[in-house]
Amino acid sequence: MSEIGYSTLKEKVESLYQRSNKLWNASNFKSSKAEFDIDLAPLNLVFAGQYSAGKSSLIKMLTGIEHIKIGAGVTTDFVTQYQHKSLNIWDTPGILAGECEQHDAKALEAIAKADLLVYVITNELFDNVVGAAFRNLCFNQGRAKEMMIVINKFESDSADKETKITGITQVLEPKIPEDFPIVFTDAQSFFDAFDEDDEQERHELLALSNAEGFAKAIDDFVAKRGLYARLTTPLQQLQIKLESKIDELTISDPLQKGLVSLLTQNKRVFQVNRRDLIKKVNADLDKLNSQIVEQGNRLADTLGGEQEEFEKIQDSSTHECERLITSALEDLQVTVDECLVDLEAELVELANTPASLKINEALEAAKNFNPEAEQEKVGSVTKDDPLKLNSALSQSMTKSAEKGFSFLAKSAVGDASKTGLKSVSGSTLHTAIKEIGGFFGYKFKAWEAVKIADKIGKGAKFLGPAMAIFGVGMQVYDDYQQSEHEKEIRKIKRDIRKNFKDYSDSVRKSIDAQVEKLLDKGFDQSIVNIDEALREIRAQSVDKSDSANALRAELAEVTKLREEIQSAY
């Protein structure tokens, strides 16, 4: 079956760290081993849920750990921890598995450590006890965002997936099935496949088990939760260390060293502020998402009450969503403006440091210096004159530096030492940022982009079905009719909640597109320019020793793996 991607990639990251450590220690430079130490957090999976639902079987299917006991009559009556590659997995007792209080306490202790909580039920779905335990974890303990639902033993009856999903809707309310990763598995089919001699039968049984789909669902969840940052962050740190070590090996001229250091510091200013902006924007969007979803819940909860109240709520929900989006866009504009002010202030502060002023002075002098004219001036050349600077900073290096400092050269930030932060307000950077930031104001209306009328349409989409429900009221004649009536109400409630969720997702997608433009123009273009300049300057270094080349090759591997993780997840 497919490996968990996090495990495979974590091993690659650890391997790169080990190789980098060996390469550096093999060189003639003194360095602490701790400089290349790494301690990557494992992925913590906790399996909880129904008694005899096949939690242990699923763990064995996922990991291949042979000593896990499975089969009819085999139950887990205490918390068991398994370590498999980069996974820490806890198998917890099922609901009603003996002394409930003790088991629950141990299970909750494990659950508190979970990155992902895999809640396992069977094809018979939730009963009252298992459903109550699920709701306790989901709502009382606030673990909904960490939960995946696995419906095991799916092949034990003929009901299709949609029927099963409909069957668990009531337990999930006010959330809906679309709020959770839901995976259908049949672990027994996986193990039966290994006892099957017929090749075609074996493949069919493996397909029925959905082992690969289960592993992929975990990877998708890890990506959605942003847990791959646990790998990309140390890779970025390793990249910085390797670049620093290569520079130490290959660059001897003080001015060249200073130039590389200054470019690197500017790059980090952009990177740190970029991460900060994304974090704050996501917080604003998460808030908006929950507010829109709550409007859907409010309308759905009105079903079963008075028709007049439903019509009132459905009419107000559209207007409220528009108001919420307008408010959120205003908050986003403030967030963006504050982050950009911080970025500009840090760039100005860095531009005003003595090292920065000296480097920029040297660049300007080297660019404008005419050696032939100066040599005609008798006694005019001293050790501090531009002739020496020009020999250290070749014309090609000067051009590379200008490319890296393009955000300074083409803006007023470069003159900050004379005029202070006020100069930034008219800079190219500031103008570009202001233009993009304006998309959060009058130039951009999220509800226009997603056509709100097509999404929730002032409740019109739900009006017909809802009116049918109100028309029937509770004039039912037997238990069957009452049961069908309740099913229809649950279906309409789910449709309402799903449409509001889809609407919220569409709004977020539209705003995210604007944020991407902002990040590209305000941050990424400068980072790319700096990276290109650094590559060109470093390429001019004369040291081509085996140690330097080995570290360069290692750096290329680090960059490649980091890009692989970022592009995939």
Q: pTM of the prediction?
A: 0.76
DSSP percent split of the chain into helix, strand, coil, nearest 5:
70, 5, 25
Lookup result for tokens 């307008």:
326
Q: Where does the pLDDT of residue 410 fall: very low under 50, low under 70, confident under 90, or very high at 90 and above?
A: very low
Structure confidence at residue 100 (pLDDT): 52
The CA angle 158-159-163, to the nearest 5 degrees, is 175
Query: Please, where are the H alpha helices in 303-427?
Result: 307-351, 354-368, 371-375, 386-392, 395-404, 406-409, 416-419
Give the residue-averaged pLDDT of 29-57.
74
Q: How many CA atoms within 13 Å lie on the side-chain side of 541?
A: 25
Q: Where does the pLDDT of residue 402 fall: very low under 50, low under 70, confident under 90, or very high at 90 and above?
A: low
Per CATH, which fold does 43-224 belong to?
Rossmann fold (3.40.50)
- Mean of per-residue pLDDT scores for the chain: 75
Lookup result for tokens 């660049």:
363
% of the chain surpassing 70 pLDDT: 70
Query: Please, where are the H alpha helices in 394-478?
Result: 395-404, 406-409, 416-419, 428-437, 446-450, 452-455, 460-472
Collapsing DSSP to helix, strand or coil, 47 comes out as: strand
pLDDT greater at residue 25 or residue 341: 341
62 pLDDT exceeds 50? Answer: yes
Which tens digits make up the pLDDT trace of 151-175? 988 777 777 888 889 888 889 988 8
Which tens digits make up the pLDDT trace of 320-358? 888 888 888 888 888 888 888 888 888 888 888 887 777
Residue 225 corresponds to which tokens in the numbers above? 């939760």
17-31, 97-111, 199-213, 404-418, range with the lowest pLDDT? 404-418
| Cβ neighbours of residue 445 closer than 8 Å, sequence gap 6 or more | 325
250 pLDDT exceeds 60? Answer: yes
Q: Where does the pLDDT of residue 359 fall: very low under 50, low under 70, confident under 90, or very high at 90 and above?
A: confident
Q: Where does the pLDDT of residue 363 fall: very low under 50, low under 70, confident under 90, or very high at 90 and above?
A: low
| Cβ neighbours of residue 374 closer than 8 Å, sequence gap 6 or more | 380, 381, 385, 386, 387
Structure confidence at residue 29 (pLDDT): 54
pLDDT greater at residue 471 or residue 118: 118
262 pLDDT exceeds 80? Answer: yes
CA atoms of 10 and 569, how far apart (whole Å)? 14
Nearest to 92 by CA among 132, 59, 141: 59
451 pLDDT exceeds 70? Answer: no
Structure confidence at residue 440 (pLDDT): 55
CA atoms of 55 and 102, how far apart (whole Å)? 19
State CA 339 to chain mean position distance.
20
Phi and psi, residue 172, nearest 5°: -80, -20
